[in-house]
């Protein structure tokens, strides 16, 4: 078995909610998909951010599965899902691949929840007519370009690192417990030992690191930023007040550009708020679902 990418038979032995996992062929890729909740319930889609995988939903997913058929997948190049070819490594390319997966699953999400870059993927899908949920939830969403010079430097740096085949191996080699803890704390979040171990296991795989770098290297949010005012779906922007990766003020600026959006500010949580306090994030999502009148059967509660 290769040491480059995570291998399910070896690295997935203790994966959270392993019993909910399966593998699906779609859009030319083999995807790792997790699903739980009542079969006849409305679909709720979870999309993780850069560098993560389905493990990041370990606490939130069961809380939402009480009322929804919850579907989560490792994004291309992340976790146990195949990487995209270089020509498709872009925000539209990632969005199109995920739309193909949903089509093959026969799933039309009523609610779509995305963390960080996952929120950008979902917004792009909605704008391109590939997704039509009743509610879009962005958890510390990466919906705007980096400010100023960073918008030029950061993608360029990621591109240079991605093109250097040594970089993912060097990163994986140095991904010990202390380094991963510093990285997570740098986002403003505090995870327990088991959460840190899951990230460490992924970051020690050069293929997973390459998937994350490739995503960042080809990420262009300028077009999404221009198109955002056309996003008509009701949007909930859940923000951790201590997020150090994306300034919390960004969500309020995004809200003011959307037709139907509001911000839910969660105090004392960072960029990985859904892993730190899944019950608080679930409460925010379910409260918005209730406001839309959604029940477990997808019918109005009134």
CATH of residue 89 = 3.40.50.1820
Q: Answer whether residue 177 is part of any domain.
A: no
Q: Answer whether residue 153 is part of any domain.
A: no
Q: Answer whether residue 170 is part of any domain.
A: no
Q: Answer whether residue 273 is part of any domain.
A: yes
Q: Answer whether residue 193 is part of any domain.
A: no
Q: Answer whether residue 187 is part of any domain.
A: no
Whether this model's pTM surpasses 0.85: yes
- Determine contact, residues 232/104, Cβ cutoff 8 Å: no
Instruction: Supply the pLDDT for residue 150.
Output: 41
Instruction: Supply the pLDDT for residue 84.
Output: 94
pLDDT, mean of each 10-residue run, the chain (302 residues): 83 97 98 95 96 97 96 97 91 96 97 97 97 98 69 48 51 72 92 95 91 82 94 98 94 96 98 98 97 64 37
Instruction: Supply the pLDDT for residue 167.
Output: 54
Instruction: Supply the pLDDT for residue 145.
Output: 81
Instruction: Supply the pLDDT for residue 219.
Output: 79
Instruction: Supply the pLDDT for residue 155.
Output: 54
Instruction: Supply the pLDDT for residue 296.
Output: 56
Q: Answer whether residue 242 is part of any domain.
A: yes
Instruction: Supply the pLDDT for residue 297.
Output: 45
Q: Answer whether residue 98 is part of any domain.
A: yes
**How many domains does the chain divide into?**
1
- In terms of residue numbers, what domain contains 246? 8-147+221-291
């Amino acid at each position: 078995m290769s040491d480059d990418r995570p291998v399910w038979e070896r690295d997935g032995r203790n994966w959270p909610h392993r019993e909910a996992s399966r593998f699906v062929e779609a859009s030319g890729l083999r995807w790792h998909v997790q699903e739980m909740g009542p079969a006849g319930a409305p679909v709720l889609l979870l999309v993780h951010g850069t560098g993560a995988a389905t493990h990041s939903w370990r606490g939130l997913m069961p809380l939402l599965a009480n009322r929804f058929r919850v579907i989560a997948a490792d994004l291309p190049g992340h976790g146990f899902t195949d990487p995209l070819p270089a020509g498709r490594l872009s925000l539209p390319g990632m969005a199109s691949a995920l739309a193909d997966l949903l089509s093959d699953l026969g799933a039309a999400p009523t609610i779509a929840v995305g963390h960080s870059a996952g929120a950008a993927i979902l917004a792009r899908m909605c704008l391109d007519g590939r997704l039509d949920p009743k509610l879009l939830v962005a958890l510390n969403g990466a919906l705007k370009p980096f400010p100023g010079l960073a918008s030029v430097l950061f993608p360029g740096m990621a591109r240079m690192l991605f093109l250097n085949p040594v970089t993912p191996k060097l990163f994986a080699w140095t991904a010990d417990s202390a380094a991963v803890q510093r990285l997570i704390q740098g986002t403003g979040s505090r995870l327990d030992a088991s959460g840190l171990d899951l990230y460490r296991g992924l970051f020690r795989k050069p293929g997973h690191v390459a998937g994350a770098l490739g995503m960042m290297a080809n990420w262009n949010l300028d077009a999404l930023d221009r198109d955002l005012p056309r996003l008509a779906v009701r949007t909930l922007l859940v923000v951790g007040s201590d997020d150090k990766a994306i300034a919390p003020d960004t969500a309020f600026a995004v809200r003011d550009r959307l037709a139907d959006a509001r911000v839910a500010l969660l105090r004392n949580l960072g960029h990985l708020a859904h892993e730190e306090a899944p019950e608080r994030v679930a409460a925010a999502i379910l409260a918005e679902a209730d406001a839309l009148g959604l029940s477990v059967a997808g019918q109005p509660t009134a």
